[in-house]
Amino acid sequence: MKPAPFRYVAAESIERALALKAEHGDDARFLAGGQSLIPAMNFRLAQPAVVLDINPLRELDFVRAAGAGGLRIGALTRNRTLERDALIAQRQPLVREAVPHVAHPQIRNRGTLGGNLAHADPASELPALMLALGARLRAQSARGERWIEARDFFRGVFTTALRADELLAEVELPGLPPRTGTCFMEVARRRGDYAMMGVAAVVTLGEDDRCTHARLAYCNAGATPVSAASAAQALVGSPLGEGQIHDAAAVAQREIDPLGNVHASKAFQRHLAGVLTRRALQTAVDRAKAGG
Amino acid sequence: MTAELHAITTTVNGTRYSRRVESRLLLSDFIRHDLGLTGTRVGCEHGVCGACTILYDGLPARSCLMFAAQANGHEITTVEGLAPERGRLDPLQEAFRAAHGLQCGYCTPGILLTMKAFLAENPSPSEGEVREALSGNLCRCTGYQHIVDAVLLAAARRHGESPA
C-alpha cells in the first residue's frame, strides 16, 4: 500500500472532530476533498498518525447570502459548487471565472474551498482570490472560534495562521460595491496545470469614472499569494486610462517576488504578470463601466 | 502492528459489497484487489493521469485520491457498470469502437466514465468543450483526435444526427 499506516476516523460531529484535533494536534490532519493531502500521503511526504475525515459533516457545505451583497461559504463546499452556484455567479463573478482554472473536472468534484485554502499552495488560484476579494476566514476549535483576515492567513508555502487545534470552517466574502468590475486571468502550460502566473483584479469606479478602490492579487508570485498593494493604491483616483494601467502593471511587476521554476524563470513570470495585469485591469474596468 | 480494520458497505455497479478494509487502502486498490473489478486502471496514483476515474455518487472522481473507508454508504460506478447487459455496449462505448477512440486501451475506462458524466450534463458539446472535459485524462497513444471524434459521435447519435 502506498500511504504509511494511520488511524482513520469518520467525523460524526464538528465537536468530536475538534476534540480529536485538540488531542492529536499536528499529528492529525483533516481530510476534506483529499486532492492534495492524499497525493502527499501516497508519496509518503505526509504521514499523519490520524486522519479526521470531515466529509460526513454536511453542515460545512453551504453557500449563503450575507448582508450587503456578501456571501458565506462553508469550508466543505466543493469547487464544483463554486463553479456552478447561481448566487456565487451573481455576487462574486470573479470566483465563477477563476474556478474552472483549478485542475480538472474530476478534481473539482472532490476538492473543497476550505481544503484548498488550508493547504495554502501559493500557486493555487483560490488563495489569491481571497486576497483580491478581502475575505475573512473563520477558524474553529474546541476552545472557540476566531475570524482571520485573508491577508493575515497565508504565512508561507503550505503554511497558514491556523493553529494545531483549529479547523477552517467557513469563508466570508464581502459584497462588491456598485460599479465594481473583476477579472481573473492566468497562463498555464496546459489546461488544468498550475499557472505560471495568474492575476485577480478588482476595480471600483466613482461617478466620474475615476477609480475609488482597486485590488490586485497574484498566484505563483511568491511564497504566499501576493497582493500588489502599491500598484493598486496608484490606481485610486486615476481615470484608468491606458497609461495609468501600464504604470500600475509596472509597479506590480516589482512588487511581486516569483520563485521561478523549471517551467518559467522569474523573469518570464514577471513578464507574464505585466501582460496579465494590463489585460485583467482593462477587462475589469470595462466590466465596471458596463455595470459590474 | 495489527492494522485497524473498518467495516464498510458500498454499492458498486448496483451490487452491495460488505468488506473490512485497512485505513490506508486506496479506493482504487479496493476496487481492483478486494472486489476483483480490474477494469479500473491504476496509472500515476497521485491524481494526474485520470486512468482510475470512477463515478462516485454519480460524479467522476479519482479513485486513487480516496480511501476505501470513505466509500462506506456511497455508490460507485466503474467501467464494468456501463454496459446494459452482457454482449451489449453502452452507446458511448459503441461510439468509441466505431470512431477508433482507443489504441492500447489503458486510459479508456477513465475516459469513458468522465465522458459519460460530461455528456449527461452537456448533451450537445462543442469540440472545444469536449477537449476541456478531457483535460484530466492522459492518453499517450491516440493524440486525442479519435477520442474527441468518438465523444462527438456519441452525442450526435443520441440526437439522431449523423456527425458533421
How far is residue B85's CA from residue B155's CA, in Å, rounded to a whole number? 21
CB-CB neighbours of A220 under 10 Å: 30
Contact pairs from chain A to chain B, CB under 8 Å? 93
Residue extents of the structural domains in chain A: 7-53, 61-173, 180-290
Contact by Cβ (8 Å): A60, A75? yes
Q: Which three cell numbers stand for residue A93?
A: 463573478
Annotation: CATH topology of A180-290: Enolase-like; domain 1 (3.30.390)
pTM (two decimals): 0.96
* Partner-chain contact A104 B23, CB within 8 Å: no
How far is residue B73's CA from residue B11's CA, in Å, rounded to a whole number? 7
Longest pairwise C-alpha distance within chain B: 61
In the Cβ-directed half-sphere of B123, how many Cα atoms lie within 13 Å? 6
State the pLDDT at residue A191: 84
Q: Is the alpha carbon torsion for A229, A235, A240, A241 positive or negative?
A: negative
How far is residue A103's CA from residue A101's CA, in Å, rounded to a whole number? 6
How far is residue B134's CA from residue B132's CA, in Å, rounded to a whole number? 5
* Partner-chain contact A109 B3, CB within 8 Å: no
Q: Could you tell me the mean pLDDT of each successive run of 10 residues in chain A, 292 residues long? A: 94 97 98 98 97 98 97 98 98 98 96 98 98 98 98 98 98 98 96 94 96 98 98 96 97 97 95 98 97 72
The A-side interface with B (CB below 8 A) comprises: 1-8, 10, 31, 34-35, 38-39, 41-43, 51, 53, 55, 80, 103-107, 109-110, 190-192
Among A85, A57, A58, A84, smallest CA distance to A71 is for A85
Phi-psi region of B14 (alpha: psi -120 to 50; beta: other; left: phi over 0): left
Select the residue of A3, A43, A106 nearest B24 (Cβ to Cβ): A3
Q: What SS3 class is residue A224?
A: coil
A61-173 CATH: 3.30.465.10
Select the residue of A7, A55, A104 nearest B23 (Cβ to Cβ): A7
How far is residue B150's CA from residue A210's CA, in Å, rounded to a whole number? 52
Q: Which domains does chain B have, with CATH numbers?
A: 5-81 (3.10.20.30), 91-158 (1.10.150.120)
Question: Strands A71-74 and A167-173: what pairing?
Answer: antiparallel
How far is residue A79's CA from residue A62's CA, in Å, rounded to a whole number? 12
**Residues 107 through 136 of chain B touching chain A, CB cutoff 8 Å:** 114, 118, 132-133, 135-136
Residue in chain B closest to A42 (alpha carbons) equals B46
Residue in chain A closest to B137 (alpha carbons) equals A104
Q: Which residues contact B15 (CB under 8 A, 6 or more apart)?
A: none
* Partner-chain contact A10 B69, CB within 8 Å: yes
| Phi, psi (degrees; rounded to nearest 5) at A221 | -125, 15
Select the residue of B47, B53, B56 nearest A39 (Cβ to Cβ): B47
Question: From first to last of its 164 residues, what are the pLDDT tens digits of chain B?
Answer: 567 899 999 999 999 999 999 999 999 999 999 999 999 999 999 999 999 999 999 999 999 999 999 999 999 999 999 999 999 999 999 999 999 999 999 999 999 999 999 999 999 999 999 999 999 999 999 999 999 999 999 999 998 875 55
**Interchain CB contact of B47 with A (< 8 Å):** yes
Q: What are the pLDDT digits (tens) for A63-120? A: 999 999 999 999 999 999 999 999 999 999 999 999 999 999 999 999 999 999 999 9
- Residue A246, H or E segment: helix A242-255
In chain B the first and final C-alpha atoms are separated, in Å, by: 61
Chain A hits for B64, CB-CB cut-off 8 Å, are 38, 42
Among A64, A126, A63, smallest CA distance to A99 is for A126
**Interchain CB contact of B72 with A (< 8 Å):** yes
* Partner-chain contact B47 A55, CB within 8 Å: no
State the pLDDT at residue B4: 85
The class of domain A7-53 in CATH terms is: alpha beta
